[in-house]
Amino acid sequence: MVSTKRKSSEMVEEEPKQKKIPVLPWMRAPINVNLIEDILLEHVPGLDPRLVEALSNINENFTTLYPIQYAVWKQTIGPGQFERDLCIHSPTGSGKTLSYALPIVQSLSTRNVRRLRALVVLPSRDLAVQIRLRTLVKSVFESIAPAVGLTVGSAIGGKGKMSDEIAQLIKRPELEAGVWYDPEKELESGVDILVATPGKLMNHIKTTKGFTLEHLQFLVVDEIDKLLGEEYQDFLRAVLLLTRSDEEHQFSHMRASQSLFGPLRTIRRSGNERGFKGKSSPRLVKMVLSATLTQSPSKLSKLDLHHPLFLSTGRYKLPDKLQLFKLTCEVKSKPLYLAALLHELKGEQSVVFAKSKDSTHELCTMLNCFDLPFKIKEYSAFQPQSLRSKTLEKFREGKIQVLIASDAMTRGMDVAGVRNVINYAMPFHVRTYIHRAGRTARAGNSGHCFTFLARNQVVEFKKLLKEVDKDSCSVHNVPEDIFEKLSSVYDSAKQKYKECMQQEKFKKRRQMNFQSSRASEGSMEISQEVE
């Protein structure tokens, strides 16, 4: 008996060691960004006065750099001088975008040549659509780059014509009188900085004549966790291969490029450096960022980082001015409690997270059956992209007060002024919780995060909070008068919801029948033509 207990005890002690994920050496001693204080723009060493003015034009109250922004500045324009690649782990809303945009723009401004020299890659079209609406990465670059003579472009998908995008990226130089036509110089880059999604980037690499990464000096990969997935591996390998300048890799580069791109077009290099003949090639500087950074050695090794420096605010961290609340109720009463909570918040800008795209639509339909005194709309992959864009813009403008969203909303979305995040469906992973909660309390503002729990989820939620260093979460009770008022119409709201869903099913069935009949008519016409 004694020996058995001893063995079981030893097994229990060894189990955590087996589950422990190895950490790369450079990640063991990160620079703690929390120890760095804000710094006034006028005190930032080496900052171009033109950029100071551009930052002030963004917002007259913009007078300081946040800790993560100053930390990156010191490692790039400051003493660091881009000597090492940067791996940045910082919560949403902490100013990560400007942290890399500012030093990249300042560095590129020192050389007056139009080449694609900086590439920022983002993981999803939802994130990219916001860029087009000038609320994320491209808008940040566009706010400061023109001040020093740089041009910003985008390759983010959507319904726009491919030809319009190509016209933006590639320019045909005007020939001067008497100058002999040189086909090798026919095409040149129209942008210095490109913001892209992987799919569109690969399309241009494969098919767009004149598009090249051979001059690239900076590669930024935002939300790197998602982009390290298997579906994005072609993009990552392509960029790293096409920006190598050392001759010892040329043979492997040609072989790999053939396997990646096939015979679509020949990929040319410009000698021993990226487009600046007679001068040494600057090293390709990589900066990778995420609010929930992976520590997997196998994944991070794919980035081929050069003596990486790890800047971190901690494993998982919520915004400083975020208040957390929980509401425990029966599952069948959740719509009622949610309607009461939204009524209590009096139309404050709120994002409600449902479990999936289908539940997002159903929940939005149910809430609208309560006839609450503010606008509620859904935002999910269930909708076409054009409708999502319009909904998001109206929400941003305050024309919609409550947005019901699926997790397509969580990564990188930036909507200023969101006061409340409501987890109608409890997130089961701390990363999901971090990204959802990060939609509010951004850039030093305050915000609230409410989480609905069933009785059997209380313990699990407590464990999740411990991962973000929270020992407790305040209990929120909906005011009784609001709850009773909405309880009286709950039954009629449920009946109205059932009727709405039945009408939708009927419309879908009728549409399917119509499409089926059109298809059969088409096949009959083809048969008659054949006869």
pLDDT in tens, 321-366: 999 999 999 999 999 999 999 999 999 999 999 988 889 999 999 9
- Same domain? For 390 and 328 the reply is yes
Clarify whether residues 292 and 388 are in a common domain: no
Q: What is the pLDDT of residues 249-295, one digit of tens each?
A: 443 444 444 444 454 343 443 333 343 333 445 689 999 988 777 77
Residue with token string 């089961």:
428
Most confident residue range from 112-126, 299-313, 337-351? 337-351
**166 plus 148 within the same structural domain:** yes
Q: Using CB atoms within 10 Å of the CB of residue 67, give its burial: 0 to 12 exposed, 13 to 18 middle, 19+ buried.
A: buried
CATH number of the domain that 62 lies in? 3.40.50.300
Is residue 136 a part of any domain in this protein? yes
Considering 291, 312, 333, which residue would you say is the last residue of a domain?
312
Last residue of a domain, one of 292, 312, 332: 312
pLDDT of residue 121 exceeding 60: yes
Residue 484, both tokens = 């009773």
The answer to whether residues 491 and 343 belong to one domain is yes
**Closest alpha carbon to 166 in 185, 195, 189:** 189
* Residues 107, 235 within the same domain: yes
Q: Give the chain's domain count.
A: 2
Interval 210-226 mean pLDDT: 88
Please give the residue that has the higher pLDDT: either 526 or 60: 60
Instruction: Note whether 98 and 154 are same-domain residues.
Output: yes
Contacts of 92 (CB under 8 A, 6+ apart): 291, 319, 412, 434, 435, 438, 439, 442
Average pLDDT over residues 457-486: 92
pLDDT band at 191 (very low <50, low <70, confident <90, very high): very high
Chain mean pLDDT for the chain: 79
Asked whether residue 61 is domain-assigned, the answer is: yes
Question: Which sign, positive or negative, has the C-alpha torsion 49, 55, 59, 65?
Answer: negative
Given a cut of 90, whether residue 240 has pLDDT beyond it is: no
On whether residue 523 sits in a domain, the answer given is: no
């090249």: which residue's tokens?
Answer: 212
Cα–Cα distance measured from residue 342 to residue 339, given in angstroms and rounded to the nearest whole number? 5
Confidence of residue 132 (pLDDT cuts 50, 70, 90): very low
> Which pLDDT belongs to residue 495?
96
Say if residue 286 is in the same domain as residue 352. Answer: no
- pLDDT, tens only, 371-409: 999 999 998 877 887 888 899 889 989 999 999 998 766
- For the chain, the 3-state helix, strand and coil shares in percent, each to the nearest 5, are 45, 15, 40
Residues forming a β-bridge with 287: 86, 220
Which of 180-194, 444-458, 502-516 comes out lowest in average pLDDT? 180-194
Q: Indicate whether 36 pLDDT > 90.
A: no
Q: Is the pLDDT of residue 6 over 50?
A: no
Q: What angle do CA 197, 203, 207 make, to 5 degrees?
A: 155
Phi, psi of 16 (to 5 degrees): -60, -35
CB 319 within 8 A of CB 436: no
Average pLDDT over residues 17-43: 78
Does 250 reside within a domain?
no
298, 416: one domain: no
Residue 452: phi, psi to the nearest 5?
-85, 135
| Residues contacting 181, CB < 8 A, separation 6+ | 175
Q: With respect to residue 180, please indicate whether it lies within any of the assigned structural domains.
A: no
Nearest of 313, 315, 317 to residue 32 by alpha carbon? 313
Q: Is residue 266 in a domain?
A: no
Q: Which structural domain, as residue segments, surrounds residue 44?
A: 25-172+187-245+281-312
Number of Cβ within a 10 Å radius of residue 268: 8
492 vs 320, which has greater pLDDT?
A: 492
Q: Is residue 469 part of a domain?
A: yes
* Domain shared by 234 and 327, yes or no: no
Residues 302 and 437 in one domain: no
What is the rounded distance in angstroms from the CA atom of residue 326 to the CA atom of residue 472?
10
Q: Which two tokens stand for residue 46?
A: 């080496």
29 and 143 belong to one structural domain = yes
In this prediction, residues 412-432 reach a mean pLDDT of 85
Please state, in angstroms and rounded to a whole number, the distance separating the CA atoms of residues 396 and 93: 16
Q: Is the pLDDT of residue 522 over 80?
A: no
Helices 198-207 and 162-169 pack at an angle, to 10 degrees, of: 80
For residue 9, is it within any domain?
Answer: no
Residues 285 and 400 reside in one and the same domain: no
Give the total residue count for the chain: 531
Number of Cβ within a 10 Å radius of residue 515: 10
Tell me the C-alpha distance between 173 and 74, whole Å.
38
**Cβ-based neighbours of 464, under 8 Å, separated by 6 or more:** 427, 428, 430, 433
pLDDT cut 70: percent of the chain above it: 76
Instruction: Decide if 257 contacts 281 (C-beta within 8 A).
Output: no
